[in-house]
Amino acid sequence: MGVRPPTGHDVELAALAAAGDRQAFGELVRRHGSAVRGLLRRLGADSATADDIAQDAFLVGFEQIADYRGEGAFGGWIKKTAARLYLRKVKRDSRFVLTETAEDAAPAASDGSGAAADRMDLDEALKVLSKGERLCVSLCYGADWSHAEAAEALNIPLGTVKSHVKRGLDKLRVRMAPPSGSVSNDSARRENLG
């Protein structure tokens, strides 16, 4: 007979983990592991790097679990930790230059065809963003960072973060917009209902 995993709210599990209960923390990893791995990929990390950083984030999270007082969601807290670790790696590797470039200013790619499912696929849509835009949009909407927090962490001006986010959102809006046919169908449906 195996040991049953602990149950309960994230805050309760975090309190147990803070007292040294590794099983409770394991349950938190089970619940939030995919979200953290997904966020890191959406920030721009490749699969292997994303998983390595996600593991490190949870290990750091266990070390610092006493700092989590349940004021926000545990998922948000651990995602912020993961994003911080990823940014540290990005800066260390100097892989990305987050200044405005011609690539950043390029208009969003609009394929004009493709299934609605593909259009709604966030991960696919993120591919049309520049690295800087992708990072800023994912930090602000995926890790719930404010623009100011992102600017400070990335060590770039606040205005640059706002530009990246705005241009990123514009591109995503175009990329993820429902096909014109479905819009007219929706309108027709609404008119019929009305």
Phi then psi for residue 89, to 5 deg, are -65, -40
Range 144-173, binding another protein (CB under 8 A): 169, 172-173
Q: By the 8 A CB rule, do 111 and 49 touch?
A: no
- Going from the C-alpha of 181 to that of each of 22, 62, 185, 186, the distances in angstroms are 52, 50, 6, 9
Cα 103–chain centre separation: 22
11: number of CA atoms within 13 Å, CB side? 5
Of 34 and 182, the one with the shorter C-beta distance to another protein is 34
Q: At what angle do helices 74-93 and 22-43 cross, to 10 degrees?
A: 50
Q: By the 8 A CB rule, do 64 and 92 touch?
A: no
Of 39 and 153, the one with the shorter C-beta distance to another protein is 39
Nearest approach, Cβ of 102 to another protein (angstroms)? Answer: 25
Which region among 29-37, 80-88, 92-100, 180-188 touches another protein (by CB under 8 A)? Answer: 29-37
Nearest approach, Cβ of 185 to another protein (angstroms)? Answer: 18
Of 78 and 87, the one with the shorter C-beta distance to another protein is 78
Q: Does 42 bind another protein (CB under 8 A)?
A: yes
User: In this chain, which of 100, 119, 124, 141 binds another protein, going by CB under 8 A?
Assistant: 141
Binding site for another protein (CB under 8 A): 22, 25-26, 29-30, 33-35, 37-39, 41-42, 51, 54-55, 58-59, 62, 120, 122-123, 137-138, 141-142, 169, 172-173
